[in-house]
Amino acid sequence: MLLEELLEAVKGVRARIEAFRGDLQKSEALTRYALIDPILRALGWDTADPELVRPEFPTESGSPDYALLVGGVPLLMVEAKALGKSFETAKDKGFQYCWKNKVSYYVITDGNRWEVHDLREMGGKTILQITLDQGEPGEGARALLALWRPAMPAVELPPPTLARPAEKTLPPTARNELSLLKLEEKMRSGEIPRNTPPPLKVIFPDQSERELKYWRDLFVAVVEWEKGLLADKLPIILPSTGKVKIARDPAGMMAPKPAGPYWVETNASARDLVKHALLATKHAGQDPNSIRVILR
């Protein structure tokens, strides 16, 4: 079945990122072969079939890495980047050759992060952003169904009931719940010790939830949720150290993790990661009391 095949492809991508991250970060060709091509094939885009996929497709404005064809006409252009590389320069270049060649959709991916832009209107509209090694594999697989070839020529996100698996709601008596602000205060004062296990989940003001496995996941989740509000405030630098904590690319970070379209520095203690999440919230103009964290 399609979803099962796509889910296995996503799991394979996650495993190869974990095993070969350093090599993938150095090579766009390896990233395409090991990460991008398996996802395209699982979505019905046979990379060996010139009727469906044309690599290095020539246009007057440049040659995107793939053109995905429907009825012999390019419907989507795909720009590939080596794992972890910035998408910023690819956006301007890709938007230009899509507009000039009347291609409706533009995809940028490093095999882990996937962005899909609808270019049928001036300025373009981002309709999908997903990072496959964040969250559950099923979440990434369901989001990528927007690119399923048999559903073309429409590129649309699955309905919310399919896009996200149902979350398990803890009974009120089982919740050890704090606001992000209160959590940071208690960790700073030592009331919550440094060796406290990572939280169970974070709940945002729109009632969306994110399961957490590590303390760094809290920082990543907060930045991902606030990504649109942080766009004109990057990079965010910690005043006390002068070190960049949130930026558009991972340059100079010791332990970068993707957070939506951005990168965050996760080489920090649990207490500092919570402090950095609070810093991001304040920069985004959000109330840290409205973000709730469920401790284990």
Q: Are residues 205 and 74 in the same domain?
A: no
pLDDT at 75 over 60: yes
Question: Which residue range(s) make up the domain with 241?
Answer: 172-295
Which residue, 163, 196, 225, sits at the end of a domain? Answer: 163
Q: Are residues 20 and 68 in the same domain?
A: yes
Q: Tell me what pLDDT residue 31 has.
A: 96
Q: Are residues 231 and 192 in the same domain?
A: yes
Which residue, 163, 189, 217, sits at the end of a domain? Answer: 163
DSSP 42-96: HTT--TT-TTTEEET--BTTB--SEEEEETTEEEEEEEE--TT---HHHHHHHHH
Share of the chain above pLDDT 90, in %: 32
pLDDT at 27 over 90: yes
Q: Are residues 150 and 206 in the same domain?
A: no
**Lookup: tokens for 214:** 């590590």
Q: What is the CATH number of the domain that holds 137?
A: 3.90.1570.30
The answer to which of 56-60, 120-124, 161-165, 185-189 has the lowest mean pLDDT is 161-165
Q: Are residues 119 and 208 in the same domain?
A: no
Q: Are residues 209 and 123 in the same domain?
A: no
Model confidence over 96-132: pLDDT tens digits?
A: 778 777 888 999 999 999 999 888 876 678 888 899 9
Q: Residue 233 carries which side chain, given as an amino acid letter?
A: K
Q: Are residues 10 and 152 in the same domain?
A: yes
pLDDT at 162 over 70: no
Predicted TM-score of the model (pTM): 0.56
Q: Tell me what pLDDT residue 36 has.
A: 97
Query: Does residue 245 sit in helix, strand or coil?
Result: strand
Q: Are residues 156 and 19 in the same domain?
A: yes
In 190-295, alpha helices (H): 215-225, 227-230, 270-283
Q: Are residues 184 and 281 in the same domain?
A: yes
Contact status, residue 130 vs residue 143, Cβ threshold 8 Å = yes
Domain count, the chain: 2
Q: Are residues 91 and 46 in the same domain?
A: yes
Which residue, 102, 129, 163, sits at the end of a domain? Answer: 163
Q: Are residues 13 and 125 in the same domain?
A: yes
Model confidence over 207-247: pLDDT tens digits?
A: 788 899 899 999 999 888 887 777 677 777 776 677 878 88
Q: Are residues 152 and 213 in the same domain?
A: no
